[in-house]
Amino acid sequence: MLEGAKSIGAGAATIASAGAAIGIGNVFSSLIHSVARNPSLAKQLFGYAILGFALSELIALFALMMAFLILFAFRFFSKKGKLAGAPV
């Protein structure tokens, strides 16, 4: 039962990766439109695009970290009511 709940929680945590992918697509789509509108600002806009990419990717990496923590690091209570792994 606990393993199933952990799997569902980890799966729900990785849904944020879809949002990060949409955000990255929006960043570079806006970059292409902006450079097409004003090519002289391409160098400056590219720096802002990389910053936006990094911040969007940070969300995905944070979600992946949370999924791994849910699956492998969090030790909830055992069947006897004590912390799992605690000395007896």
In CATH terms, the fold of domain 2-73 is F1FO ATP Synthase (1.20.20)
* pLDDT at residue 26, as a whole number: 96
C-alpha span between 48 and 59 (Å, rounded): 17
- Tell which residue, 65, 69, 59, has the closest CA to residue 24: 59
C-alpha span between 21 and 15 (Å, rounded): 10
* pLDDT at residue 9, as a whole number: 82
CB atoms within 10 A of CB 62: 13
Q: What is the DSSP letter of 76?
A: -
Q: Does the pTM exceed 0.75?
A: no
* pLDDT at residue 71, as a whole number: 83
Report which secondary-structure segment, H or E, holds 12.
helix 2-13
Give the model confidence (pLDDT) of 16-73 as tens digits: 889 999 999 999 999 999 999 999 999 999 999 999 999 999 999 999 998 888 888 7
